[in-house]
Amino acid sequence: MGAMSNVDRALSALREMIFSGQLAPGSDHLETELAAHLGMSRTPVREAALMLQAQGLVDVRPRRGIRVRPVSAQDMRDIYDILTELESLAAARAADAGYSTSDLATLDKSIADMDAALEADDLRAWAQADDRFHRELVRLGGNARLAMIVAVMRDQVRRARATTLFMRPKPSKSNTDHHTVYQAIAAQDAARAHDIHHAHRRAACKMLVDLLEKHQFHGL
């Protein structure tokens, strides 16, 4: 049935614990402890840890434990630089692909959800819809490797985004940006889709980094 191996379980559990902060950034955790906590042997935990290391979420340091990688303001800049380029490329490619309106339904829906969430002042719902928007945008770009890289980078900034979610100004500009990108894609205007999204990401990055540096977060 559920082809759910212990490695899979360890992966989801560890990811969840990392994203939720239950495993704090910078904290170390021995394989044995995690295994005991997850109710399995060291082997699957170890394999999961190696995968998470490959995704940049933890560092595996012999005899010092599995460390949850903190994300500094500089890390954020580096990550957003990558996200900016790759997502913008995806937006351009999506525009070139000549999708029909129905192909873009999911994208449209997530924009509507963001608008609604903003209206209702529900920031969590907004963040979720924003996530869906970006994921779908990248999917429409049609480059599976790019989508994977973007997913990995987004995971790395997930905690920081969650932390700053309630400190940032209301993302209304963000929503109009999304609308514009959507329209550019629907109109098959690749350059416009690219440029708008690029600017959108740059602004988001600046806002986030400023927040982090202003509040002196040293590793989120």
Partner DNA sequence: GCATACTTTAATGTATACGTTATTGCAATC
Partner DNA sequence: GATTGCAATAACGTATACATTAAAGTATGC
Task: Decide: is 32 part of the binding site for DNA (CB under 7 A).
Answer: yes
Element (H, E) at 26: none
179 binds, among DNA, a second copy, none (CB under 5 to 8 A by kind): none
Q: Which residues, listed in sequence order, are joined to residue 66 by a DSSP beta bridge?
A: 29, 60
Q: How far is CA 157 from the centre of its chain?
A: 6
Shortest spacing between CB 47 and a second copy, in angstroms: 6
31 binds, among a second copy, DNA, none (CB under 5 to 8 A by kind): DNA
Cα end-to-end span (Å), the chain: 38
Shortest spacing between CB 65 and DNA, in angstroms: 5
Cβ closest to DNA, residue 27 vs residue 180: 27
Task: Decide: is 30 part of the binding site for DNA (CB under 7 A).
Answer: yes
Interface stretch with a second copy, choices 20-28, 113-121, 140-148, 175-183 (CB under 8 A): 140-148
* Cα gap 162→19, rounded to integer Å: 9
In order, the DSSP letters of 119-179 are HTT-HHHHHHHHHHHHHHHHHHTT-HHHHHHHHHHHHHTHHHHHHHTTTSPPTHHHHHHHH
* Cα gap 114→91, rounded to integer Å: 19
Count of residues near DNA by CB under 7 A: 20
Cβ closest to DNA, residue 25 vs residue 44: 44
Shortest spacing between CB 27 and DNA, in angstroms: 13
Cα dist from 2 to 15, 59, 75, whole Å = 19, 29, 36
Among 149, 151, 162, 207, binds a second copy (CB under 8 A): 149
Q: Which amino acid is at 88?
A: S
Task: Decide: is 188 part of the binding site for DNA (CB under 7 A).
Answer: no
Give me Rg for the CA atoms of the chain.
Answer: 19
SS3 4: coil
54 binds, among DNA, a second copy, none (CB under 5 to 8 A by kind): a second copy
Residues that bind DNA (CB under 7 A): 3, 5-7, 30-32, 40-44, 46-47, 60, 62-66
Residues that bind a second copy (CB under 8 A): 46-47, 50-51, 54-56, 75, 78-79, 81-82, 85-86, 89, 93, 143-146, 149, 153
